[in-house]
């Protein structure tokens, strides 16, 4: 899965060199392949939790979501960013159980997503925050640090080979630049310090460790406000289009809130509901955030159907 994702820009570049297509056509070449990776990655993300026969529904639901279709029509290459974020989600759900390698994979995928488009920055930050949310009850400092390290390594490596026109140290708001590497570095420092703090027996140390990541993100926003604003990429659309774009995410938010109050994995579902609410808020004015939130909502469809199937089976006494 990760190999497919990393080969995406390379394959598109080879096609461009061989065929000699204009840059506008590059997005249409990436689009179908990225859509396939997106569908596979969403299935991989929900595979540990959903019935095997229903996993494929996550990818199909994402590809037919109105917000994703609208984004694919306007920016076909943006599907590659969504695919990278979906791969990050697969690493997150496995890192939640304490797999350090999964955290590093999530960081790599998050870095690839930010390299494709800085619009992915808020979602990557929310993904990293998931480990802090769980860390209050079960320390995940090692996983959190691994993800931050993967993010920093990936962004630094890509920037070294794909610098802005002004050079490696030039700040560019609309594309990957040194300011995004600075964000990853601040997050890595905060995660490493938090990992050290959470080894202490005192409860205050764990809470302080979980507060370091938000503090690092806020410090970056204060230092580079233009880059932070550019990551949101606000582009309001006609109000009549909003219900169709946001309806899947609204349904997913309602389901996540219901699961959170049901008492099973309350912490995970509560954080997911917070992420969906944030995505809905930003999705009103950002087509990319609307599409990303719809993809997140699509991943919940196999879970909801799996639970419904189990409940019906139990009620029927089968």
How buried is 244 (Cβ within 10 angstroms: 0-12 exposed, 13-18 middle, 19+ buried)? middle
The DSSP output letter for 8 is H
171 CB neighbour count, 10 Å cutoff: 14
- CA distance readout (Å), 167 to 177, 185, 224, 228, 229: 9, 19, 18, 20, 22
With a CB cutoff of 8 Å and minimum separation 6, the contacts of 195 are 141, 142, 144, 145, 209
pLDDT for 5 equals 43
Distance CA 193, CA 189 (A): 6
* Of the candidates 148, 149, 131, 152, the residue with the CA atom closest to the CA atom of residue 140: 131
Evaluated on CA atoms 120, 69, 33, 105, the torsion sign reads: positive
Residue 205 belongs to domain spanning: 2-316
- Domains: count for the chain: 1
Distance CA 295, CA 10 (A): 25
How buried is 140 (Cβ within 10 angstroms: 0-12 exposed, 13-18 middle, 19+ buried)? buried
Question: What are the pLDDT tens digits along the chain (318 aa)?
Answer: 444 444 444 343 333 333 343 444 444 446 778 888 899 999 999 988 888 888 999 999 999 998 898 888 878 778 899 999 999 999 999 988 888 899 999 999 999 999 888 888 999 999 988 876 655 455 678 888 999 999 999 999 998 887 766 655 555 556 788 888 999 999 999 988 888 887 765 666 666 777 888 889 899 888 888 777 776 655 554 444 556 678 888 899 999 998 888 767 778 888 899 999 998 888 888 888 889 999 999 999 998 888 888 878 777 655
Inter-residue contact 175 to 118 (CB < 8 Å): yes
Distance CA 104, CA 215 (A): 22
pLDDT for 185 equals 94
Its pTM stands at 0.83
Inter-residue contact 41 to 90 (CB < 8 Å): yes
- CA distance readout (Å), 274 to 36, 68, 85, 114, 254: 28, 21, 17, 21, 11
Q: What is the dihedral of CA 201, 205, 206, 209, to 10 degrees?
A: -140
Give the helix, strand, coil percentages of the chain, each rounded to 5.
80, 0, 20
pLDDT for 205 equals 67
| Residue with the two structure tokens 């205050």 | 204
Radius of gyration of the chain (CA): 19
């Amino acid at each position: 899965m990760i190999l497919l994702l990393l080969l995406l820009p390379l394959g598109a570049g080879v096609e461009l060199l061989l065929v000699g297509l204009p840059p506008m056509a590059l997005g249409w070449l990436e689009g179908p392949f990225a859509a396939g990776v997106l569908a596979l990655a969403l299935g991989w993300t929900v595979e540990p939790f959903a019935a095997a026969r229903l996993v494929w529904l996550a990818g199909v639901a994402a590809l037919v979501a109105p917000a994703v279709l609208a984004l694919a029509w306007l920016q076909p290459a943006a599907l590659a960013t969504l695919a990278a974020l979906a791969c990050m989600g697969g690493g997150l759900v496995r890192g939640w159980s304490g797999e350090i390698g999964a955290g590093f994979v999530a960081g790599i995928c998050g870095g690839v997503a930010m390299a494709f488009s800085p619009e992915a920055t808020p979602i990557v930050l929310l993904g990293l925050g998931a480990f802090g949310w769980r860390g209050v009850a079960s320390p995940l400092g090692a996983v959190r640090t691994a993800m931050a390290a993967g993010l920093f390594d990936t962004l630094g490596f890509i920037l070294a080979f794909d610098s802005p026109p002004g050079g490696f140290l030039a700040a560019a708001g609309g594309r990957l630049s040194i300011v995004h590497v600075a964000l990853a570095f601040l997050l890595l420092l905060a995660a490493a310090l938090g990992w050290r703090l959470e080894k202490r027996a005192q409860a205050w140390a764990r809470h302080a460790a979980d507060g370091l990541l938000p503090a690092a993100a806020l410090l970056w926003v204060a230092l580079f406000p233009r880059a932070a604003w550019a990551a949101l990429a606000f582009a309001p659309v006609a109000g009549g289009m909003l219900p169709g774009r946001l309806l899947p995410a609204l349904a997913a938010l309602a389901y996540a809130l219901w699961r959170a109050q049901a008492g099973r994995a309350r912490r995970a579902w509560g954080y997911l509901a917070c992420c969906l609410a944030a995505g809905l808020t930003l999705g009103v004015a950002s087509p990319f955030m609307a599409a990303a939130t719809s993809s997140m909502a699509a991943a919940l469809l196999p879970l909801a159907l799996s639970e419904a199937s189990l409940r019906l089976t139990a009620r029927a006494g089968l």
